[in-house]
Amino acid sequence: MDSLRNGLIAEFLFDGNALDTGNSGNYSGQVYGAVPTADRFGNPGSAYEFDGINDYILVQPAPKLNKEAFSLSVWVRYGRDAKLSWWNNAIISQDGHEGRRVFQLSTYDNRVTWHRFFQSDEVFVQEPVRTGLWEHYVTVFDGSTHKLYRNGILMTEKPGRLEPNEEEPLYIGRKSTDEPYFFFHGAIDDIRMYDRPLTDDEIIALYTENGWDNPKFIAAAQRAKSGSDSVEIKHKREPNQKLRVENTNFAYSIFVNCRAEDVKFHDVSMPDLSIECADLRRTRLHNVNFSNGKISDANLSDLEIDGAQLGGAYIHNIGLPPKGHPAFVEGAKQRPLRFENCDLQGSKIENCNLSGVAIERCNVQGTTIDGISVEALLDAYKLSRQV
């Protein structure tokens, strides 16, 4: 697509070097430790591998950004043993603290995040990164809104602004500070920076450049087309327009940026269903097989689970988002949870804050706290009361 050269302020294809092949060619990078590796097509020496310890590429001076519009495109492969905890693995950043914080495409826990500091809310992909696989990420700023795309699909968007700083260098594979967890572990390739917002068609063109596509997407598309026609519905936004689908196979379909209030699914097979960046308030799930399912980074306040089998369930990291999380609210307090008529036999509670917890009218036979029998503790308490 010819338009992909328009507004291209910097381009790093990493074909054995870190030269800038953008329109000006003024922003070549200095490589520190990173080594050439195979790109997503398997071409040797056509991307850079970073060890997650001290490898990075420095671009100084950094490309001059347009505060009214900006786009960034990059291919990334996280290492299979990359450490994904708290803030980590900066892909590309201009973040020097001391009033020079421009942007940071990095990782929060295991989600790619467009970190905008205090200039806008975080824009992030809710689905965890898939280590060992090449994935394409694009950020777009149109003057009022930041958008984050993965593999050609819009993941989320938030309003905000952009404040460039020409004095702050551009770092690839780390941020400007020496915080060890920000050094990227994996491979990076084909970075492009624009002084304009890319269109959806241009983002797809970058994703499918040179014939690339995710093999899983190709297989899904082939299976979906087998024995049936493909129907495309776009830009249908009339508030009273309703769609009725009955006795229909729409496996491998994709719904993007759609409104779906009060939608009902009845007697439907939906294994491997993926729901990302969705508002599911007041959702009701009844008589549902959710075995091996996963709910992560979710607001489940006032959720009620009734008559459910939770054998083998793993419930962890529950509570209010910590400081630095995109959903953190200063001064918010955790409301108590309530368990009633639950069979928790043989369960384990570990590394949890149980202050103020009340246990009433429960069978505690065999229950221990740090190896000490609760029954023995209660007996000792009763004896002390008799003295």
Average pLDDT of 30-55? 92
Query: What is the rounded average pLDDT for all residues in the chain?
Result: 80
**Tell me, what CATH number does 97's domain have?**
2.60.120.200
138 domain-assigned: yes
pLDDT value at 257 more than 60: no
Burial class (CB in 10 A: 0-12, 13-18, 19+), 23: middle
On whether residue 262 sits in a domain, the answer given is no
Residue 246, classed as helix, strand or coil, is coil
Whether 380 maps to a domain, the answer reads no
- Section 26-48 average pLDDT: 92
Q: Which domain holds residue 99?
A: 2-217
Mean per-residue pLDDT for 140-162?
A: 87
Percent of the chain with pLDDT over 90: 21
In 3D space, the residue among 148, 131, 137, 108 whose CA is nearest the CA of residue 186 turns out to be 131
Q: If DSSP codes are grouped into helix, strand and coil, which group holds residue 112? A: strand
pLDDT reported for residue 386: 80
| Window from 15-19, 253-257, 319-323 with minimum mean pLDDT | 253-257
pLDDT digit string (tens) for 340-361?
Answer: 888 878 888 888 888 888 888 8
**How many domains does one find in the chain?**
1
pLDDT given at position 223: 44
Q: Is the peptide bond before 159 cis (omega within 30 degrees of 0)?
A: no
In a domain, 137, yes or no: yes
Residue-by-residue DSSP string for 299-361: --TT----S---TT----S-SSPPTTSTT--TT--PPPP---S---TT----S---TT----S
Residue 163 lies in a domain: yes
pLDDT > 70? residue 10 = yes
How far apart are the C-alpha atoms of 45 and 258, rounded to whole Å? 41
Q: What is the pTM of this model?
A: 0.58
Residue 232 lies inside a defined structural domain of this protein: no
pLDDT at 338: 78
Q: Tell me: the pLDDT tens digits for 51-86? A: 999 999 999 888 888 888 989 999 999 988 888 888
User: With contact defined as beta carbons under 8 Å apart, do 97 and 165 qualify?
Assistant: no
Helix (H, G, I), strand (E, B) or coil at 383: helix
Per the listing, tokens 């297989």 go with: 219
pLDDT for 256 equals 61
Task: Look at residue 186 and tell me whether its pLDDT is greater than 90.
Answer: yes
Residue 190 in this model has a pLDDT that exceeds 80: yes
- Amino acid 346 reads G
Residues 6+ apart with CB under 8 A from 333: 320
Domain annotation covers residue 141: yes
Q: Is residue 51 part of a domain?
A: yes
Of 42-46, 121-125, 155-159, 224-228, the range with the highest mean pLDDT is 42-46
